[in-house]
Structures are given as structure tokens and as C-alpha cells.
Chains A and B, each alone.
Chain A
Amino acid sequence: MTEPGPHEAANQYERPNQPWVCGLAAAGHACAAGPTARGRCPTLAECSPKRDSGRWQCNRSALRGGPCDEGPTPEGRCGRVQKCRPVRSLRARRRLFVATCAIAALGSIAILLCGNWREHALRPGALAQQHAQILENADGKSASCGACHPAATQNVTGWVVSLVATDNSLPTQSQLCMNCHAKSIAKDLSLRAHNLPLRTLEQLKSGRQNAVPAAADTVNSQAVSAGSVRPVSAELSDVPVTPSRDDSAMYADAAKPIACAACHREHHGAKADLTAIADDACQACHQQRYRSFSADHPDFGTWPYVRRSPIAFNHASHRGKHFVEKKQAFDCRVCHVTDSSGAVARTLSYETACASCHDEKIATSIGRGVAMFTLPIMDREALKMGGYDIGTWPAAATGDFDGRLPATMKLLLLGDPAGAAAISKLGAAFEFQDVDPKNKEQLAAAASLGAAIRSLLADIGSRGAMAVRERLSASLGRDVTKAKAATLTAGLSLDTLRGAAEWVGPTIKTNSTTPPAVKLAKTSLPYGPTGTWSRDETTFTIRYQPAVHADPVLTAWIELLASTPHLEQRPIALAMFKELTKLTAPGLCATCHSIEQTGADTMVVNWRATSNVQSQRGFTKFTHEPHLVLPQLNDCASCHAVEDAAIAVTAYADNDPRHFVGDFKPITKRQCAECHTHTAAGDSCQSCHNYHVEAVESWHVAAPQSSDKQPPAQLRISDRGWRIGNRNHASAGGGDAPAR
């Protein structure tokens, strides 16, 4: 082992910044010159021997130790030539390592981008199960990113370009969402707040400002005075709601589009809940702060009894009187059963729940049937004196003017210009006994009407439902469909009509090979079997004898009239509608089936109690299923307490379903807050509210100003829990709102 060189700094030339250092440095013999920049040893001698007096002399400098002991070789070369294998300096090794890391990373990225498993490797996480089952390929590896991300159809260059320039030809992500979700959300409203048009949101705003429950107007005064019912205005006074700090800002925000991804965060795993939205997201617009449901949420007011139930069923009287008389136990669950999923309380059908008691009354009401066509008694002498010949008219129907045309007949006569003119002269509510034979105008009108009746019977006798359709379309100013017309006369045979036509004219010959009755029979009817038609030759009347319940002809006539716009402007039609829907009308339809005014100047008849199938998604949701598990809630009355003192007779007096008297005591927030806390059943907004709503009825958002005494806006629509759903089947009377 040779002696290492001295370690004093002065004797070594350190090159830590150079990429290469002398390979002999570790041995303490680093040469002064050091390696070249390329890492090669220069193999330098320590001196250049000089020839002096014929001998070679070492001339190593004193700084390097002076002349060496060995001296030059006989050939005159330095005997101390350093040769080494240079090594990389620490800094160079670090640079090399870092470069290797960078190249490895770059290579990995290049492989990642070029591989056919690029999409699988680059996606930020697994898709939620709902999306994965559609988008994942069969191999379970590759995902179709392009289904949701327009950029997936581009290459890396396209991605880089997208940093500086937006490609407007590509759809947005939300637009791609709507490729699949357009069935549940309207495309043009998909980015709007609550998927509602701005106009509707404005109506919500005004509705909120005017949001005073209509029930406040009609809370039974007796009940209030008895102290058993608090007026809704009193309920509202307890509601700790103050106007939002900036409603205008909230509705200004509503105009801004909201991307689907703002709330629905994907790539968080198969079990991630895409619909789990934080309360903060709601409060992005609803800026009134809610720390917790129990502390800040307003009381429910009258929710869920925000409107009268579609079927006029008085729980209080049934429990306290009718069931007692029948010696039956009043058990909620006899009528309100759960459906196959066990989730929704439904009302049983009429046949199951009501028929045993109500069939008898209905049968009594339709005992004589309904006169649909009749011949009036015409004063042939007076007409003759007036110069009018009414032609063939049964002798038994001749005498002093008398008789009353059924509204059905008047309506059909209106479809004939001559008949319409005559009725116009005589008045909508005229009866033939009111015709003054001395009044030439009335006499002329009566004669004209007689001709119109003959024409009507002949027309219907020959063309059947088609004639009915044309005449009703003309008289009601709307299109009456062929199917509707067929239903209106369902079961009415051609023979019956021809016979009636022959009362006032010759035998009708028709080329039709198929009698109208057969044609009508082909029409599928949504209700029960039809009743029977009969021709009374004594009174010259065609009567319809309805079926006991859900008669298709009567319901078709009622629906036709209810759905006619501006019925109040058509006195004949209105009179017929009133006749068919009065409480003593044949069939007693309107006794139970409520009629409501809709926003489009039409009315709708609630034939069913609830229809969860048809219900549309509203702001508030509730499902009974998880609640009924609790023993303390197993008794329906624990929440739905019947208000015995309420007199609900006026609840259906008009056509506004919000003007009603509930026969249940209001549900208080306190009841819900016992369980719905942050740590127990949860108190997030989403527990009870939907964001995506399908429809908002006008009457929900434009609450009528029933009284000037009512305070201005303090409640939000959503705060009040108003059900925004199908107008026929809004949640009332304990029906479930579907929890989707």
C-alpha cells in the first residue's frame, strides 16, 4: 500500500462543480490537471524532464513536491505519470439520477398516452355504479370516456389546443349528460335552477312573497274558537322565517346556468352516491342560513295538507259518525294500504273501500236515468197561425208549448247555426213553457228550434258519433276527438237513434253497414261498463241509465265540459256542467270527486284519490316506509291526527283546492325534529327536498290574494313544503309523494 497524499487542501485541486473528478482522489493522489470535460484522464506526467549535461533532470515544481526521487527515465520521460479512471462528481451523479427519473416519468407518460388502455389508466377513479353499468365495456377495463367527455375524442394535441382555444363544435359535458337524461329533464331547462323556466322561478318568487296558505282564510272558525285548531296565520306567526337577505340576488343567480357536474361529482368509486348533495350546494342560492333542521327550518304551516284531498272524504265524520253507525272500527290501514314495494300508502279502490256503503245512494240517484234527448211539446196551432209549419211532429207532443230540452240536446243544437240562433233568441236557460205564442220572435225561434231538433235527430240517427263530434266541436269551440265522441255516446245503438228520428220525420236510410253501436263498442273505455240507453215512446225521450259507479258516459260528458276552456262564457255548456256536477246529480259524481280550476281556464275532475304512478316530482318528498318501521309511528294518527272539530263541508264549495278546511291537525316540525337531527335520522336539505322538479303548477306559484289582511311574503314555496306535482294527484290527505 502506497502512502496516500497529504490531505491538506492546498495540495489538491478540488473540482466539486465539474462533472468528473480524478479517479485517484479517493486514494489521496488526485492529479493537478484533473480529467477532461468529457471524463477522460489526460495521462499527464508530473514534470517535463530537462536534459542537463547529458542527463535528464526532474523539474517537478516545488508546489508539487519538487524533484521526485525516481527521476526521469533513461529516455527522458517522466517516471511519474498518473493515469486513472475518472469518476463522476456527486453533482454529476445527481444530475444523471434526476435526468433518469425525468426520462422515466416522461416515458411512462408517453406509454400511458399511447397505450390502448389509456382511458382506463387515465381516468381519475371508478365510475358510480349507475354510470358504470352503461359505460364500462364488457371487458370491465376500458371505459367509454367520450360518452361524457368531449375531449376524449381528441388526441393530446387537441387537449393542448383546448388550453388556449375553445372548440365550439364540441358539445359540453352537460349536453352529453342530457343524451341519456333528457327523458327525465327537459333539455332546454337542464341547466336552469330546479330545471324550471325563468318565468316559473319568477312566479315562485312572487308566490313566495304572497305565500299565505289559503287555508288561513277558511280555517274553521268554530274549531279555532274552540281552541282545537290554530289558524294557519297563527302557525305562520310562529315560523321563524325572515326574508332572505337578498332575494333579488338569489333570483339573479337563478338565471345563471348550472352545470350538472357542479353537484354530481363522478369518479368517486362504484358505491359513491351521485345524488348526495351537501347542504351548502342548496345554500348557494338559498342564502338564508340553516344551521340545522330543528333550529332554523321554518315550521311546516299546513304541510302536508296544503290542499284539499282530490276525493272529498271527511275523515272526522266517517270516524265519528258513519263508521260508528255501521258498527265498524275506523282503521286507517283498511283504506290506506302500502303498495307492492311497501313504500307508499295508497287509497283503495271505490269497489273495495266505499261501495259497500255508497253504492246504494248512487243507485238511487240514477234511478230514472238521465234524459239526453227529448221532444218538447210544440203548439202547432200557434205556429200555424204565425205562418210556420214544423212538419211531422208526434200528436202526443203537440199542445201548448211545454217541455224542457236536456242540456245535452241544447249543446248539440248549438252545433247547428239555426239551432244556435234560435237558442240565442230564447235564452240559454229557456224552457218551452216560457215561449209566448203571441211573441212573433219567440214563435219564430220555437219554429226554428223545432226544425233544428228534427235535423239533429236525423243527423245523429244517420251519422251517429260523427255528428255528435262535429256538433260538439262547433258548440264548444274546441276539437272533440273521435274517441271522445264515441265515449260520449257509448252504447247508444243506431236503432234507438233512428226510432227517435222517426218521431219527427221519415225513416232514415243509411248506407252504413256497421251500426254505430258496434263502432262504439270498439272504443276502449277507461272506466267501467257503460249503462243502458232507452227510448221512451211515451215521453219522446232517449234516456241514459248510468252504471252504478264510474260510468264512462257520464264521466266523459263531465270531463269534456270541465276541460273546455272558458266554460263560464258558454252558458249552455256551463248549465250542463252544473247539472251533471251538482250534489244531487245522477251518479253523485261531484259528491266525492272534487273539481278544480286549473291555470289554463279549464277545470279538472279528480277521479282518483292519488296516483303515484303519474305523480310528478316536486320540491318536497316523503316516503312512509322508513317511518312506519318505528313503533311509535306505527299508528297513523300519531302524525295524522283527525281534527274532529273541523267542519269540512265548505272545503269543496269552490274550485280552488287550496280553499279548504283540513280535517287533520297540522303536523309540526317538532315531531319530525325529534328524529331528524344531524346525528340521528339526518337533517340535510336532501332528506326532504328534491332539486330536480318536473312541474310547477300555476296555482302553486301564484297564490291568490285572498285577503288584504294577510301579511306579505315571509315563506318560501319550498319552506312551506308545497307539493309541486301533478295537479290531479298532489300529496294530500296522507298520500305519499314519490321519493325518487
Chain B
Amino acid sequence: MVRSFWKRRIRNSGLLMVALALVWLWVRTRERNLQPVAHETGYIMIAAVFFLALYNIRKKVPFLPLGTSSTWLQWHLYVGLGSIGVFALHTGWHWPTGIFETSLFALYASTMLSGLFGLYWTRTIPGQLARVGDEVTFERIPALRRRMQWQANETVIESVAASGTTTLADFYSAQMYGFFRLPRGVKYFLRPTTSRRKSLLADMQHLQRYLSEPERKACEKLFALVRRKDELDFHGARQGLLKYWLFVHIGLTYALVLAASLHGLMATAFGGGL
């Protein structure tokens, strides 16, 4: 399976390189013959952008016999990577000075960067998720978080009833209530770490000496709940990243398609011919 994956990757990468080399040779030949290349590379670019955008539309019409989504994804990835080369040929890597062209350049660069980040995340995050806890459906994470919070609350309340002391309850309300009640912040969303969990567990460890027996048992339960909540947050953050980068990528794609269309229209109309 792994071998077949690498074989496919090498084959597709090779084909991409060959295609780019052919385009480069074609462009060079045209340049040497004083033939226009900006329009031609522009047509390739706009065709590539439209093709890349079609992938999103393809996913909305799964009933049409247009090939598997997996195949489309492969094409999407390699055409997207190839478009970087064509973009380089088209612009010569010159940062434009016009307002509209600068916007177009920035749109393409942003879309491409978001795509590259997405590619990286889709290739790395599933492995990270598989290593952490059970499989969790993204949509159920709020409900699970709520349930964990309820369980933690119940555990603490039961310990108070059983021991008649509020040491654990005070610690819970001061340190752990927010942890269970809320999802993690933006910083954790972008770069999840275990520091909060470690900090909480360490504090709970220190608290143990002041707890009564019933509270100590409840604390054990809270230990487990903290671990599960942290894993749930990790799932939420990582799966959220996988979901929300598409917001940016697709949003930019549509803006890019529109701007590129206007650019192509103007380039054709203003080309001037001879």
C-alpha cells in the first residue's frame, strides 16, 4: 500500500515535471521567435484556475459520472502545483505595480499558499488524530464537551456530599471549571500543546495531600476527565483546522476566479495585436 502510494507520487511528480518542462520549452521557443507568450501562459493559467475551482463543484454533484473524488483530488493537487510554474512563466516572478494586478497576484499567492498549507495539514493531521484517543466526529465535539463538563460537575458535587469538604470543589471552580466548559483558544487552535493539561494535572497532584478520601477518589476521576477533555480539544482544534482552512481556500478561489476572468478579458481586449 505504502509502496503503491510512493510509486503514484513519484509517477505523478515526474509527469508534472515533464509537463512543466514542455511548457517552459514551448514558451522559450515562442519568445525566441518574438511571438507573444504572456497571453498564452495566461490562457494556461486561467484554464488551470478554472479546473482547480471545478473540484469544489465536482464534490457538489457526486451523482454525475465525472470520475472519483480521489482522482479529482490528485489532479487538483498536481495541476495546482503545476500552476506555480506557469505562474512564474507568466509573471516572470515580477511583483506587479498596478493596483488590480497586485491584488490578483496576492490573490493567487494566497490561494496557492492556503492550498499548500491544506495539503500539508491533510497529510499530517489524520495521523496525529489517530495517535490521540478515539475517533471523534467533529460535529459531536460540542456535545461531548458538554457531557464531560456535566460529568466533572457531578463528580465534584458527589465528592462534596460524601466528604463534607469543599477543597476539591474550590479547586475545581477556580482552576478547572473553565477548562471543561469552554473550547480552547485560537492559539491552541493553531498550535495545540499539552501544557495546559500538564499544568492542571500537576496542580491536582499537589492538591492530593489536602484531599479527603472521597475527594481523592473524585480527583482520580477528574484526572481521567482532564485527559479526555484535552484529547477532545486536540481533536476539535485539529479537525477544525482541517475544516476551516477550506473556508479560506475556497473563498479565495472564487475571488481569484473572478479577478482572473477580468484580467484575462482585459488582457485579450487590450492586447492590441499588431
Contacts and interface: CB of A to CB of B under 8 A. Distances in A.
Interface string B15-46: 00000000000000001111110000000000
B98 A122 contact: yes
B142 interface: yes
Given A14-B139, A28-B143, A109-B259, A126 B273 contact: no
B265 A125 contact: no
B243 interface: yes
Nearest to B157: A1
Nearest to B38: A265
Nearest to A269: B97
A133 interface: no
B99 A4 contact: no
Interface string A438-475: 00000000000000000000000000000000000000
Given A21-B139, A163-B268, A174 B274 contact: yes
A152 B147 contact: no
A268 B254 CA distance: 28
Contacts of B35: 262
A104 B252 CA distance: 11
Contacts of A123: 98, 100
A323 B257 CA distance: 79
Contact of A26 (B34, B36, B146, B251): B146
Given A90-B243, A120-B99, A258 B139 contact: no
Contacts of B149: 1
Interface residues on B, range: 35 or more
B218 to A, nearest CB: 17
A121 B266 contact: no
Contact of B33 (A104, A109, A122, A284): A284
B259 A94 contact: no
B100 A112 contact: yes
B258 interface: yes
B137 interface: yes
Contact of A98 (B247, B262, B271): B247
Most A C-beta atoms less than 10 A away, residue of B31, B153, B247: B247
A122 B254 CA distance: 19
Given A27-B143, A90-B138, A262 B96 contact: no
B270 interface: yes
Contact of B272 (A172, A258, A269): A172
Classify the secondary structure of A's interface with B. helix
B66 interface: no
B255 A102 contact: yes
Interface in B46-87: none
A98 B251 contact: yes
Contacts of B252: 101
A163 B259 contact: no
B147 A28 contact: yes
B131 interface: no
Contact of A259 (B98, B262, B265, B274): B274
Contact of A163 (B32, B99, B140, B265): B265
A26 B254 contact: no
A280 B274 contact: no
Interface in A157-188: 158-160, 162-163, 166, 172-174, 176
A25 interface: yes
Interface string A645-661: 00000000000000000
B117 interface: no
A12 B146 CA distance: 15
Contacts, number: 152
B101 interface: yes
B250 A26 contact: no
Contacts of A27: 143, 146
A106 B139 contact: no
A263 B34 contact: yes
B258 A124 contact: no
B273 A172 contact: yes
A94 B243 CA distance: 9
A3 B101 contact: no
Contact of A14 (B137, B142, B259, B268): B137
B150 interface: yes
B98 A257 contact: no
B147 A4 contact: yes
Nearest to A148: B272
A281 B31 CA distance: 7
B99 A126 contact: no
Interface string B113-124: 000000000000
Contact of B153 (A1, A25, A30): A1
B233 to A, nearest CB: 15
Interface in A35-58: none
B270 A151 contact: yes
Contacts of A126: 97-98
Contacts of A364: none
Contacts of B262: 109, 113
A28 B258 contact: no
Interface string B88-103: 0000001011111100
Contact of B268 (A21, A122, A162): A162
A119 to B, nearest CB: 11
A159 B266 CA distance: 7
Contacts of A199: none
A154 interface: yes
A435 B93 CA distance: 90
Given A104-B255, A151-B269, A253-B33, 4 more contacts: A7-B140, A102-B254, A113-B262, A163-B265
The 9 closest A-B pairs by CB, nearest first: A173-B272, A101-B251, A26-B142, A105-B255, A159-B269, A102-B254, A151-B269, A125-B97, A28-B143
Interface of A: 1, 3-5, 7, 9, 12, 14, 16, 21, 25-28, 30, 89-90, 93-94, 97-98, 100-102, 104-106, 109, 112-113, 120-126, 145, 148-152, 154, 156, 158-160, 162-163, 166, 172-174, 176, 191, 253, 257-259, 261-263, 267-269, 280-281, 283-285
28 contacts: A1-B150, A4-B147, A4-B150, A25-B143, A27-B143, A101-B254, A101-B255, A102-B254, A112-B100, A121-B98, A122-B266, A124-B98, A125-B96, A126-B97, A145-B270, A158-B269, A162-B268, A163-B268, A172-B273, A172-B274, A176-B272, A259-B272, A262-B35, A263-B34, A280-B32, A284-B32, A284-B33, A284-B34
